[in-house]
Chains A and B, each alone.
Chain A
Amino acid sequence: MLRRAGLAWAFVVGLPAVGAAVDGSNSTPSIFAPVSTPAFAIRELAFFVLGITGVIFAVVAGLTLYTIVRYRRRPGDRASEPPQVYGSMQIELAWTVVPFLIVVVLFLVTARYIWSIDARPQPPGAVEVTIVGNQWWWEIRYPKLGIVTANELHVPASDPASPTPTFVTLQSVDVIHSFWVPQLAGKMDVVPNKTNRVWIDPRTPGTYVGQCAEYCGLQHGLMLLIVVVHPREEFDRWVVAQQAPARDDPSARHGRELFASLACINCHTVRGTPANGVFGPDLTHLMTRWTIGAGAARNTHENLRAWVNDPAALKRGALMPAMKVSRADLDTLTNYLVTLK
């Protein structure tokens, strides 16, 4: 009973307000607030389409309204039927041809944008990232940089003069997910047995939020994604920090040994230690991330402790099992995990 109440509480209170907490930036992921070239292009196209449809709406709705008002049957006028008009070849031709021409224009413009976004070649300075969708978290790898992390994608800001976009390869280990950070690009599904690609080149540093956009099971609603865009030097520093093996804090040696002796290492990797499991997120620099459980809770000592004790308490149905360790061991483990900066 208490556990369930705790769960509800975690729900209402514990959902992290990510944007405000991270850097105070507005975290409304509006498709009309782009910061990256594909998102800009789509917004441009959207304005064009909205312009056309807006005009069509005004004309047709206006005509409908006019007709409804003008041709109401006046009271007492039941004498005769109005003139019966069966059709008009000219009018019907006109209202077929004009929409058809609008469609042609719209199609040509659309085709151009499809090609320009979809067929963009990868420039030499691009950052390469592989994102692997899991139920219900994102594994993020930088193959050329030797970095593996989870749920937070760090990329450098791209200068339009000499762009450094990030090209993301998308794969899935289980079901279909979808990578969607509206301010950066249109979404792209993450499909098992298929490799998709999407590219972003954010121009403004900041934190941008997104989440899985293809129903993928129980916790589809809690599979959040944070993209942190750094100025170039800051990104390089981040890379160096991430490339380093796990910190070896002497005060947590007992915890490190405990971690290595438990089943933890079957699923998790902590580089520089024997732990090299691949089913769960890489924990080497766990504490550099803002949330745990892909947005289930803020990454604090208490929440981490609660998570390790029973992930389902923070994220019902999470595929990590409750580790069922004693309270003392739990404290030791958590004290170790918080040193993984």
Chain B
Amino acid sequence: MSVPSPTMTTPDTAGTPRALVDHLHDWVVTVDHKRLGIMYVVTGLVFFVIAGLEAAVMRIQLAWSGLHVVPPETFNRLFTMHGTTMVFLVGIPIVFGFGNYLVPLMIGARDLAFPRLNAFGFWVLVFGGLLLHFSVIGGDGLYGAGSAPAVGWFAYAPLTSKAFTPGNATDYWNLAVFVTGIGTIATAVNLVTTTLIMRGPGMTFGRLPIFVWVMLTVSGMTLMILPPLSAAQIMLVLDRYLGAHYFDTQAGGSAVMWQHFFWFFGHPEVYVLMLPGFGFVSEIIPVFSRKVLFGYPMIVAATVSIGLVGLSTWAHHMFVVGLGGPVTTFFALSTMLIAVPTGMKIFNWLGTMYGGKLIFRTPMLFSCAFLFQFLVAGLTGIMLSVAPFDWQLSDSYFVVAHFHFVLFGGLLFTIFGAVYYWFPKVTGRMLSERLGRWHFWLLVIGFNITFITMHVQGILGMPRRIYTYQPDRGWEIWNFITTLGVPVQAIAVLIFVANVLLSLRRGERAGDDPWDAWTLEWATTSPPPDYNFETIPVTTSRRPLWDLKHPDDPDGPHE
């Protein structure tokens, strides 16, 4: 069943080397899911460096009380840009980028359902990212030198109204995020359609790799949660420019309504970010334990139920806004409940490793660190779900520590693991193990110095988003230690970049299947041809390649 691929490029005239311009042109006009996937991830990593620098400046300012590295308005812009960039321009592009690249390969398809829509989604994201960062020079318009938005990444009303933030900085935030949202919705439509109807022969739902289940779930969630954010942003534009009163408290509007709309998006959004991380480790841990994933059906059920229950937990971000006892109690319950399917997964991964033969190559190192760090993240999350405890911890550095444990110690570590794991497939070369270990250990050390310590400042009463603090609060030493982790993390990331660049040129050649893995992407060349598979393999179990390698002991009867 070889369907000619619409993305097949025409062969060059024999022997003529192609100009750089032609190569670039290919990348710009491509609709191939693999190239778009690579571009998504690279874009995300570029924005990661930018947002990381923003964080570094903030940490330097906060290293001691009363420091004046940047003026208050700049600090406020830094944390706004850092948060907005990390969520919308780093997290989302990277996870959907991996989804883009891997889902067709894993299900035995030749591309996504709508290749041109795929390209549209990507370029719209790039445009949104550029629009947001253009604010740095164009933000305030007539009011003077340009400036980035300074309303926080969740842009609470009525601070965002024209009365309290004149100029155009907020509008850059609003429109840029709106635009990237459209791209994300388009990609979600694409992934859902692809997974539902373009699975290869034998690839039933019960045999989909966990990563594919995860991408299906997060795409479905995206369809439901991103439009509410877009709607709220439309309302904000109407408020700011057409005199509407959606969030105008002076006219009887409700500031809390923005929060409901935003967090209805915002909370499931962090599951959209984190679930693919679970998908990565669900692929990596079995291969490096040499054991099948323990409890596949329950992991699928847990994934889908996180997606569903996650839609009902949003107001735990609003425990201190004055929701009233009954509402607070409901959301505390729903938030606690979601800990069950989430925590369960850790046990499934442990169950996979238990009794296995663990191989600690770099992808596995990152996955193991993830297990510990995500455990901490989940437990601090449970603490925050206890509403009265949250009344103290909310809006403090404890929450900042919590979500960095989720998204950095959790998601980012799994992303690095995924890069090391799939880089050979994408490029045909292995990343250096030695540099990988340096990258890993420095990152673990730097990350934990910064973010374990950060819980302390929160407990000692330090609120978020303050550009400096008093010398007598007892916060100085903890902030100083927190900042010490930053250069360590920075070096780790530099080593990673160096690893990628060096390995692209001189990495050891990977074959089709360097890790001795079991899912379909390893059944084709590295990198795969434009049309993905010469002949699309027939799937006979959850581990199609295991079946091919062990014809005497296939998985099917055991599942």
Residues in A lying within 8 Å of B, measured CB to CB: 8, 11-13, 15-20, 26-32, 39, 41-42, 45-46, 49-50, 52-53, 56-57, 60-61, 63-64, 67-68, 71-73, 77, 81-88, 91-92, 95-96, 99-100, 103, 106-107, 110-111, 113-115, 117-119, 135, 174-176, 178, 180, 182-183, 185-189, 191-194, 196-197, 209-222, 224, 295, 316-317
Contact = CB atoms under 8 A, between A and B. Distances in A.
Contacts of B354: 67, 71
6 closest pairs, A vs B, by CB? A186-B391, A29-B461, A28-B474, A221-B466, A193-B249, A192-B249
B347 interface: yes
A28 B477 CA distance: 12
Interface of B: 65-68, 71-73, 75-76, 150-152, 156, 158-159, 164, 249-250, 252-256, 289-292, 294-298, 320-322, 324-325, 328-329, 332-333, 336-337, 339-340, 343-344, 346-348, 350-351, 353-360, 368, 371-372, 375-376, 379-380, 382-383, 385-396, 459-461, 463-475, 555, 558-559
Contacts of A42: 388-389, 391-392
Contacts of B391: 42, 117, 185-188
Contact of B355 (A77, A85, A113, A176): A85
Nearest to B290: A81
B388 A73 contact: no
Contacts of A211: 463, 466
A50 B541 CA distance: 43
30 contacts: A42-B388, A42-B389, A49-B382, A64-B371, A71-B289, A71-B356, A72-B357, A72-B358, A73-B290, A82-B355, A84-B555, A84-B558, A85-B292, A86-B559, A87-B296, A103-B340, A110-B329, A114-B329, A115-B325, A188-B320, A193-B249, A193-B250, A193-B254, A215-B465, A217-B76, A217-B159, A220-B466, A221-B72, A295-B470, A317-B73
B82 to A, nearest CB: 13
Contact of A92 (B76, B295, B339): B295
B470 A17 contact: yes
Given A82-B357, A83-B355, A87-B295, A45 B386 contact: yes
Given A49-B383, A221-B466, A176 B156 contact: yes
Contacts of B358: 67-68, 71-73
A209 B460 CA distance: 11
Contacts of A77: 357
B80 to A, nearest CB: 9
Given A17-B471, A49-B389, A106-B386, A99 B340 contact: yes
B388 A221 contact: no
Given A81-B290, A188-B320, A194 B255 contact: yes
Contacts of B472: 17-20, 27-28
A175 B356 contact: no
A71 B256 contact: no
Contacts of A39: 392
B386 A49 contact: yes
A7 B371 CA distance: 47
Given A15-B66, A16-B470, A28-B461, A63 B350 contact: yes
A214 to B, nearest CB: 6
Contacts of A11: 66, 68, 468
A82 B356 contact: yes
Nearest to B553: A84
Contact of A110 (B73, B321, B388): B388
Contacts of A197: 322
B159 A182 contact: no
A114 B328 contact: yes
Most buried by A among B347, B353, B470: B470
A183 B474 CA distance: 14
